[in-house]
Amino acid sequence: MLALVIALISGVILGMGMGGGTILIPALTLLCRTPLPVASGVNLLSFLPAAAVSCAVNLRSGLLDRTVAARFLLPGACGALAGAILSFLFDPKILKYGFYGFLLFISIQLLYKSTKNSN
């Protein structure tokens, strides 16, 4: 049941264009005790159908600019390949703490920006 709730929340976040992995990976590693490399693999596999559905809905509603998206496809795929290869070179603990540090940094930035904009 926990996995279903995690997957649904991650899918909603992904559908809004905010990256479901920011929810899925920490939830799998912290709540389900899934090793980070496995959680990352699950994230990537679950991303494919969820992203396809999200892209179709956004395209249909006019929220997806094909020319902008096209500029990111090849570099994004190359970056994903490089990241996948690099992930095998690092200790999983380094990747885990690096990912959590990244999420903390992004969270602090978003919090700062939201409080700055509301004043």
In the chain, where are the structural domains located? 2-90
- pLDDT at site 119: 64
Is the pLDDT reported for residue 71 higher than 90? yes
Is the pLDDT reported for residue 105 higher than 90? yes
- Per DSSP, the residues of 15-48 read HTTS-THHHHHHIIIIIS---HHHHHHHHHHHHH
> What is the pTM assigned to this prediction?
0.65
40 touches 87 (CB < 8 A): yes
When pLDDT is averaged across residues 59-86 and rounded to a whole number, the result is: 90
